[in-house]
Chain A
Amino acid sequence: MDLTPDEDQMALQTATNDWCRAHMPLAEARSRPEGLWQQLEMMGWVGMTAPAMDLDHPTEALVFAELGRFLAPVALLSSAVAARWTKFDGKVALALAGTDNIRLFDSHNATHALGLFDANIGSVNIDADCETRRSLDLSTSIAHLQSNPPVETINDPRAALHLQLLVAAFSVGCADAARDMAADYATLRQQFDRPIGWFQSLKHICSDMAVRAAVARSQLYYAACALQAGESDAAFHVTAAKRLADQAALDNGRANIQVHGGIGMTDEASPHLCLKRAHLLQFLAPAESRILLAVSP
């Protein structure tokens, strides 16, 4: 038993973080440059989950949590699952099958989209004339598929768990980002002649953000190991990870805005980017209470 990253994993984590900091700063998530996807492909983030790469789930979770910390494009999630479980490589848009119709995210230059259809991973063709605009999460475009396209599904339940795990990793990163943004601001911003983080009512908001992020990250690691080892309760653990990660991202997203005061709710400051991302992730492979309440997980 060892739930800490080993040296190779830590090196990969640091390298991912360094690259993101330099080339994909969080503040730019309000409008990602056109060429970003090509850069991500060149760096290998897109194809890293292909079977030939033989990357284990714990390592994947670590890397995706770092990518998620910088609000990386959400098509990385669908493309990663596609690379492992379908014949598509390269960019695959993210599909969200809702009650009304199918929403597509990050569909620019993609011919297919992948997402959960009922309980299974499925992929659809993207119409050429599909109209896109900005979504609530400003980093991604959204499009509505008007027709009911045929869905090609993958019947292996591990594929759905794979997506759920990676989304949870993105949420963990998002929760971390909000926590760090809040703590930095609470140290810098002065009122009453002292940093606002001196005031306990603010300090404790930040401490609770740290607790939520640590809880979610721990469960993410456990879930990744359980899925990797093919444990019989892997679905339970991945679901638990997703639920806690979503909550951490949402709650930290909101708390971060409160810590920032007026600037926190402007378009120009970054806190809303984390909250909006959390709202998007919340709908992807959502955690089902039924699985958490099962008699024997």
Chain B
Amino acid sequence: MDIGFSPEEMRFREQCRDWLHANIPAEIRPLDAADAIDFDKHWQRQLFDAGWAGINWPTDYGGRGLSIVQQVIWLEEYAKAHAPWIGANFVGINHGGPTLILNASEEQKAFHLPQILKGEAIWCQGFSEPGAGSDLAGIQTRGRIDGDELVINGSKIWTSFAHVADWQELVLRTEDGSRRHAGLSWVICDMHAPGITIRPIRKMSGQTEFAEVFYDDVRIPLNNVVGGLGNGWKVAMSTLSFERGTGFIADQVKQSEEIAELISKARANGMINNDHIADQLAQMRAEVAALRAMTYRNISEVVRTGQPGPEASIIRLFTAELGQRLERMAVLLLGEVILDFAYGDDNAVHDYLRGFASTIAGGTAQIQRDIIGERLLGLPKSR
């Protein structure tokens, strides 16, 4: 075991740092998806042109074909440099693309992957429905097969970036009378197709970033099914494993910067003399260090065995809850200043309100605990 990086990796780190230093946009990323979309696309294109998009994606589809350790180094430097959130590119880069790499046909990959990397195609995720949240197998949106097309009816909700997206990971029921996990398909849905209506929804933190999506006789070619008709559950699970599995790498660095800032703030305003606060800060400093260790352990496991260890689900839950405790501490240190918050503000109060998502989106903390208990500890399945 060792925590050092090879000379080659250190050179790579320097290249990342130098490029980021010279190229991070001076402009601040707007909060609303509709205002941010041009910014997001432009920044993604810039990343692609400089070779920083898809660092560990196959070269055939526009990636760099480098190692996962190099991908981690990039994400670490990215967070350290306070580079902007990839925003609307989040779904395509973090789980849409990886799902296609694993499950899609050559034709689908060749068409979509380069567009994702270049920021030309924005993706969104149509999994959740009003009646199917934690219980994803309760999906009711239907696709009737008509010749070489699917005719889609139903609705999705909480779809992040739906109103600015070009494509959607759409999971729907393609087999009449099928129940639960059977009869579902994972389909690439064209968000510009006739029959789609989108109602954006505002969050309690102010921004309008997700939406409800209605499908009224929407026609999508059968060719757009990924991984085969009726295999939607399996493909969706691979999407979720990417969604739950990779996001934490950047969080780990962000949280380490945050805790250092919180400690100096508490020193400056004297609140560090409150033993309870000092103790919580010390605890979180230790936990943030452990999060990096856990991330490295997980990455080492991928390098060694080709897949993340079962502890990936632990990292995700721990990151989410630690993040929320940091956000709570930040507003505690602010005191009554939090009352000045107004929609549109991009500050600690905003982060605190927005951060409630981290134990809800992509599987709630309760569902994550079920997964840890059942898959890691072998406890009986409750659902």
Contacts and interface: CB of A to CB of B under 8 A. Distances in A.
A206 B379 contact: yes
Contacts of A236: 289
Interface string A171-193: 00000000100010011000000
B278 A215 contact: no
Interface string A264-297: 0000000000000000000000010100110101
B294 A5 contact: no
A208 interface: yes
A296 B300 CA distance: 27
Contacts of A200: 366, 369-370, 382
Contacts of A198: 379-382
Interface string B90-107: 000000000000000000
B69 A207 contact: no
A2 interface: yes
B184 to A, nearest CB: 25
A126 to B, nearest CB: 35
Contacts of B297: 3-4, 218, 221
Interface string A201-213: 0011011101100
B4 A1 contact: yes
Given A3-B297, A4-B297, A215-B318, A210 B377 contact: yes
Interface stretch (B200-208, B209-217, B279-287, B334-342): B279-287
A165 interface: no
A112 interface: no
A160 to B, nearest CB: 18
Nearest to A2: B300
A293 B289 CA distance: 12
Interface in A1-58: 1-6, 9, 58
A4 B304 CA distance: 8
Contacts of B311: 214
B296 A203 contact: no
A185 to B, nearest CB: 11
Interface residues of A, number: 51
Given A4-B297, A204-B373, A225-B1, A214 B379 contact: no
Contacts of B282: 243, 289, 292-293
Contact of A4 (B69, B264, B300, B372): B300
A293 B379 contact: no
A196 B376 CA distance: 17
B3 A1 contact: yes
A145 interface: no
Nearest to B6: A1
Q: How large is the interface on B (under 10, 10 to 19, 20 to 34, 35 or more residues)?
A: 35 or more
A225 B2 contact: yes
Contact of B369 (A203, A295, A297): A203
Contacts of A289: 278-279, 282
A216 B381 CA distance: 27
B263 interface: yes
Interface in B309-359: 311, 314, 317-318
Contact of A3 (B263, B300, B377, B381): B300
Contacts of B296: 1, 3, 218, 222
B380 A292 contact: no
Given A200-B382, A222-B3, A210 B290 contact: no
Contact of B380 (A3, A197, A215, A243): A197
A139 interface: no
B314 A240 contact: no
A239 interface: yes
Given A1-B5, A229-B2, A237 B372 contact: no
A194 B69 contact: no
B372 A219 contact: no
A9 B1 contact: yes
B380 A293 contact: no
A1 B69 contact: yes
A244 interface: yes
24 contacts: A1-B300, A6-B1, A187-B378, A195-B379, A195-B380, A198-B382, A206-B373, A207-B372, A207-B376, A210-B372, A210-B377, A211-B318, A214-B311, A214-B318, A218-B296, A221-B297, A225-B2, A226-B3, A229-B4, A240-B290, A241-B290, A243-B286, A244-B286, A293-B272
What are the 10 closest A-B residue pairs judged by CB atoms, nearest first? A222-B293, A197-B379, A240-B286, A219-B290, A218-B294, A218-B293, A203-B373, A289-B282, A207-B372, A292-B282
Interface of B: 1-5, 9, 69, 263-264, 272, 278-279, 281-283, 285-287, 289-294, 296-297, 299-301, 303-304, 311, 314, 317-318, 366, 368-370, 372-374, 376-382
Given A229-B2, A295-B264, 16 more contacts: A1-B9, A1-B299, A3-B293, A4-B301, A186-B377, A187-B380, A200-B369, A200-B382, A207-B368, A207-B377, A208-B369, A211-B314, A214-B294, A214-B318, A222-B289, A231-B3
